[in-house]
Amino acid sequence: MKNFNFHNPTRILFGKGSIAELKDQVPADAKVLILYGGGSAERTGVLDQVREALAGRAILEFGGIEPNPRYATTLKAVEMIRENAVTFLLAVGGGSVIDATKFIAAAVKYDGDAWDILTSRGSVITQAVPFGSVLTLPATGSEMNSGGVITNPEKEAKLPFSSLYCYPVFSVLDPEVTYTLPSRQIANGVVDAFVHTIEQYLTYPVAARVQDGFAEALLRTLIELGPKALETPEDYDIRANLMWTATMALNGLIGAGVPQDWATHMIGHEITALNDTDHARTLAVVLPSLIDDQREAKREKLLQYASNVWNIREGSDDERIDAVIEATRGFFEQMGIKTRLGDYDVDADGINHIVSALKEHGMTALGEHNAIGPDEARRILEAAL
Amino acid sequence: MKNFNFHNPTRILFGKGSIAELKDQVPADAKVLILYGGGSAERTGVLDQVREALAGRAILEFGGIEPNPRYATTLKAVEMIRENAVTFLLAVGGGSVIDATKFIAAAVKYDGDAWDILTSRGSVITQAVPFGSVLTLPATGSEMNSGGVITNPEKEAKLPFSSLYCYPVFSVLDPEVTYTLPSRQIANGVVDAFVHTIEQYLTYPVAARVQDGFAEALLRTLIELGPKALETPEDYDIRANLMWTATMALNGLIGAGVPQDWATHMIGHEITALNDTDHARTLAVVLPSLIDDQREAKREKLLQYASNVWNIREGSDDERIDAVIEATRGFFEQMGIKTRLGDYDVDADGINHIVSALKEHGMTALGEHNAIGPDEARRILEAAL
């Protein structure tokens, strides 16, 4: 096991009716800005539940945060917060709204050009406005970690940042609010959580039994319950397990003390920056191709993954690896998510563009061995056509 | 899954050489009291590593905290802290030292009689002196939770307390410091962590896949690595996995959103209060007898435990339950820990004493169904003779 420093101060309020607990979690004397996305938080009644829990408080609202939240939008929120002396932010939404809120919380307190936060990956952050979240879409894990991703279409950039100042003070997870989510978003969320787990698990062994065992439990849960969530949307236990799984998949715990990959994410981000493909769908395209390409470097963990997650124990090493790659691809397809670049209108020209963007953004030594450069990325993308 | 509120703010600094990181974790301007137990922290050089990391700081030391730490001892530390205006406590030791430090940290800030903290189970605590820990013995999980147990031999009492003010600010976990531990302490630690996990797992199902999967991963790790830790004491990976497993077994995570038992612990505490038997050994005596006695109430989870942890899948339900109870007992015996009351000089008179003590301490409705009263406790103990 590698040395690690683990700290996660976010409080989780989990379960039916937990939005009402906001009244005890948001400081009574705070001037609060509620941030949300499109119309769904309003339509589903989640915003009304939030307003009711905070009735009588000093509250402003900022809606319209996009999926793959835009830099320009966050700057508008920063301005509103400064003008109105807001002291506490409350994100109501999925990963995009929470990511944006983290960035906004840091940008409000940053004296320079907010773009520095992204070019420095967050290292210039020294403080942030305190914030909580009400999660409506289990997927990114943003509700219990300190990172986010912001998109700037003008620069064709989708850039990650993180900072120890960007943990939510609390996050409210009520599985019932996910009943009304479109299948597409549930499918995206399951695949996103799955690939988050894989990025921290499918590297090379370092004798980390706890982290591996936890990751395998999360993967098995997603494989078993993901398809069922699409069939029976109002099953509380299924939604509760998916919600908690997605949070645990990216709150730092399973990644503490182990190598991490993240090449699939970095390549996927450039696909989204190119043509706005849903984040999870880019992962479903890149991952099967990447693990096939990297099968030698990942051999031992691929065999462990085959055995412990998929119960694939027959055949030669390479046969089991082939089988587990196909099982992974099949799981994504079973969730209704296509796994080929062509399904998302990316062709050879698109690949050129993506590889150029990776270079431009300094993403030239990706993966747990820093061995995925532009040539390897091109090979992986071409195999995914 | 049940609703839950999970929050664990303790920072973990894990790995070889991590004691040196104390210099960045203990506030530079603090007046520090280092608390430790018997001579082992001195003998093994751990205290010297701590002193070196904090060289030049304002430091006092308080040694002599016992296994099953005594109330009278904690009061002496409280007096020393008040007289010397100490502002930060650093526990260097195992669960006993850390438990005592938590109690001391709270008692220093409590205006009434410190005994109230124990009779209220910690609910009177409203503040505590900040403290960190350097863990020397993986076992109790005290390094990443907010509870402890204090013994008062005059009252024949061993009483638990907990408070949200009693989380360590940080805990340093260096697996190398466990190389020199006596086999007896390693065995105790493995069994303690095992039973902690069982108390939060082996109840009744609530469709908590993540918690169950994590608990099963911890149990499998202990079963596989516990005996190996006795055979090869200086294997870093084994010690690292046991250390992290013991922490994860009782930091609130696997118990969030699930029923919990703790009857084995409550009955076991009274055995220790009676004749000072090692805590873990009391658990190894009570647990197999308790799960046999409670096999109807625990039936579904016993079958899950048999299958997922021990790979026992053949035979009738009752045969599998019999087999998994024997496997559990066999694991404790394999760790060198006897599992019968007679092995610890407790006879029928002793049982009378233990049952009276349970009544006296209000422990009359134990377990996940509050169904283990004095009669059930007597039956469980008699079957353990």
Please, which pLDDT band fits residue B159 given cuts at 50, 70 and 90? confident
Residue A157: pLDDT above 90? Answer: no
Task: Kindly state the average pLDDT of the residues B195-211.
Answer: 98
Tell me if residue B277 falls in helix, strand or coil.
Answer: coil
Same domain, A22 and A162: yes
pLDDT in tens, A170-186: 999 999 999 999 999 99
**Which of B2, B6, B19 to probe the A interface (max A CBs under 10 A)?**
B6
CA distance A220 to B209: 9
**Contact flag A241-B11 (C-beta cutoff 8 Å):** no
Residue A101 sits in a domain whose CATH number is 3.40.50.1970
Task: Kindly state the average pLDDT of the residues B350-371.
Answer: 96
| Residue A260, pLDDT score | 98
**Contact flag B17-A3 (C-beta cutoff 8 Å):** yes
Place of tokens 């509760």: A240
How many CA atoms within 13 Å lie on the side-chain side of B52? 11
**Contact flag A6-B16 (C-beta cutoff 8 Å):** no
Residue B191: pLDDT above 80? Answer: yes
Cβ-Cβ contacts under 8 Å for A123 (sequence gap 6 or more): A163
| Residue A205, pLDDT score | 98
Q: Has residue B327 been placed in a domain?
A: yes
Distance from CA of A110 to the nearest CA of B (A): 25
Please, which pLDDT band fits residue B14 given cuts at 50, 70 and 90? very high
Same domain, A87 and A138: yes
Neighbour tally for B75: CB within 10 Å: 15
Closest-approach residue (CA) in chain B for A7: B11
Residue A260 sits in a domain whose CATH number is 1.20.1090.10
Q: Has residue A1 been placed in a domain?
A: no
Residues of chain B with Cβ-Cβ distance to A174 below 8 Å are none
Question: Which residues of A fall below an 8 Å CB-CB distance to B?
Answer: 1-18, 21, 207-210, 212-214, 216-218, 220-221, 224-225, 237, 240-241, 244-245, 248, 253, 256-257
CA B50 to chain centre: 23
Residues of chain A with Cβ-Cβ distance to B216 below 8 Å are 213, 217
**Distance between start and end Cα atoms, chain A:** 37
Last residue of a domain, one of A135, A152, A178: A178
Sequence-ordered alpha helix ranges (H) in chain A: 22-25, 40-43, 46-53, 71-84, 95-108, 115-119, 183-201, 209-231, 236-248, 263-275, 279-293, 299-310, 317-334, 348-360, 374-383
Residues of chain B with Cβ-Cβ distance to A12 below 8 Å are 4-7, 256
The DSSP code sequence of A135-194 is E-S-SS-GGGSSEEEEEEGGGTEEEEEE-GGGS-SEEEE-GGGGTTS-HHHHHHHHHHHH
Distance from CA of B238 to the nearest CA of A (A): 8
- Which of B11, B210, B241 is opposite residue A209, by nearest beta carbon? B241
Residues of chain B with Cβ-Cβ distance to A6 below 8 Å are 11-12, 14
Q: What pairs with residue B138 in β-bridges?
A: none
Same domain, A153 and A273: no
Closest-approach residue (CA) in chain A for B15: A3
Both structure tokens of B294: 């409670």
- Which of B2, B209, B244 is opposite residue A210, by nearest beta carbon? B244
Question: Which residues of B fall below an 8 Å CB-CB distance to A?
Answer: 1-18, 21, 207-210, 212-214, 216-218, 220-221, 224-225, 237, 240-241, 244-245, 248, 253, 256-257
Distance from CA of A293 to the nearest CA of B (A): 30
**Contact flag B5-A14 (C-beta cutoff 8 Å):** yes
The DSSP code sequence of A56-83 is TSEEEEE--PPSS-BHHHHHHHHHHHHH
Task: Kindly state the average pLDDT of the residues A83-110.
Answer: 98
Q: Has residue B101 been placed in a domain?
A: yes
Residues of chain B with Cβ-Cβ distance to A225 below 8 Å are 209
Residue A51: pLDDT above 80? Answer: yes
**Contact flag A209-B221 (C-beta cutoff 8 Å):** yes
Q: Has residue B5 been placed in a domain?
A: no
Q: What pairs with residue B148 in β-bridges?
A: B161
| Residue B156, pLDDT score | 73
Residues of chain A with Cβ-Cβ distance to B217 below 8 Å are 209-210, 212-214, 216-217
CA distance B326 to B342: 18
Residues of chain B with Cβ-Cβ distance to A135 below 8 Å are none
- Spatial contact of B188 and B281, defined as CB atoms under 8 Å apart: yes
Q: Has residue B3 been placed in a domain?
A: no
Distance from CA of A42 to the nearest CA of B (A): 25
CA distance B344 to B363: 22
> Residue A141: which of A251, A219, A290 has the closest Cα?
A251
> Residue B249: which of B353, B340, B94, B145 has the closest Cα?
B145
> Residue A102: which of A152, A144, A148 has the closest Cα?
A148
Neighbour tally for B165: CB within 10 Å: 17
Neighbour tally for A59: CB within 10 Å: 18
Cβ-Cβ contacts under 8 Å for A162 (sequence gap 6 or more): A121, A122, A145, A146, A147, A148
**Contact flag B9-A6 (C-beta cutoff 8 Å):** no
**Contact flag B217-A216 (C-beta cutoff 8 Å):** yes
Residues of chain B with Cβ-Cβ distance to A245 below 8 Å are 209-210
Same domain, B133 and B158: yes
Last residue of a domain, one of A140, A161, A178: A178
How many CA atoms within 13 Å lie on the side-chain side of B341? 27
Q: State whether ipTM is beyond 0.85.
A: yes
CA distance A147 to B135: 30
Residue A153: pLDDT above 90? Answer: no
Same domain, A136 and A226: no
| Residue B157, pLDDT score | 79
**Contact flag A17-B3 (C-beta cutoff 8 Å):** yes
Same domain, A192 and A125: no
Task: Kindly state the average pLDDT of the residues A370-376.
Answer: 98
Q: Mean of the per-residue pLDDT values for chain B? A: 97
Q: How many CB pairs under 8 A join A and B?
A: 124
Residues of chain A with Cβ-Cβ distance to B4 below 8 Å are 12, 14-15
Q: Looking at residue B366, what DSSP letter applies? A: B
- Which of B6, B18, B244 is opposite residue A14, by nearest beta carbon? B6
Q: Looking at the 3D structure of chain B, how many domains does it have?
A: 2
pLDDT in tens, B128-149: 999 999 999 999 999 999 999 9
pLDDT in tens, B269-299: 899 989 989 999 999 999 999 999 999 999 9
Helix, strand counts (H, E) of chain B: 15, 8
Q: What pairs with residue B309 in β-bridges?
A: none
Calculate Rg over the CA atoms of chain A.
20
Same domain, B161 and B232: no
Q: Has residue A237 been placed in a domain?
A: yes
- Which of A21, A210, A237 is opposite residue B248, by nearest beta carbon? A210
Q: Mean of the per-residue pLDDT values for chain A? A: 97
Residues of chain B with Cβ-Cβ distance to A11 below 8 Å are 5-7
Please, which pLDDT band fits residue B361 given cuts at 50, 70 and 90? confident
Task: Kindly state the average pLDDT of the residues B310-337.
Answer: 98
**Contact flag A9-B9 (C-beta cutoff 8 Å):** yes
**Which of A225, A237, A244, A311 to probe the B interface (max B CBs under 10 A)?**
A244
Last residue of a domain, one of A110, A143, A178: A178
Of the candidate ranges A85-89, A258-262, B95-99, B156-160, the one whose mean pLDDT is the lowest:
B156-160
pLDDT in tens, A294-334: 999 999 999 999 999 999 999 999 999 999 999 999 999 99
CA B51 to chain centre: 27
Structural domain that includes position A80: 11-178
Give A381: exposed, middle or buried? Use CB within 10 Å, 0-12, 13-18, 19+: buried
- Which of B3, B7, B18 is opposite residue A3, by nearest beta carbon? B18
- Which of A15, A207, A221 is opposite residue B210, by nearest beta carbon? A221
pLDDT in tens, B97-107: 999 999 999 99
Residues of chain A with Cβ-Cβ distance to B15 below 8 Å are 1-4, 257
CA distance B334 to B197: 19
Same domain, B236 and B377: yes
Residue A156: pLDDT above 80? Answer: no
Same domain, B202 and B351: yes
Cβ-Cβ contacts under 8 Å for B160 (sequence gap 6 or more): B121, B147, B148, B149, B269
CA distance A255 to A262: 11
Same domain, A97 and A33: yes
Residues of chain B with Cβ-Cβ distance to A5 below 8 Å are 11-14, 21
pLDDT in tens, A180-214: 999 999 999 999 999 999 999 999 999 999 999 99
Angle ∠(A14,A186,A281) on CA atoms, nearest 5: 130
Same domain, A163 and A20: yes
Residue type, A9: P
Q: Has residue A4 been placed in a domain?
A: no
Closest-approach residue (CA) in chain B for A13: B5
Residue type, A157: A
Write the CA distances from B235 to A1, A178, B229, integer angstroms: 12, 46, 7
| Residue A68, pLDDT score | 86
Same domain, A153 and A274: no
Distance from CA of B176 to the nearest CA of A (A): 12
| Residue B280, pLDDT score | 96
Q: Has residue A364 been placed in a domain?
A: yes
Distance from CA of A170 to the nearest CA of B (A): 9
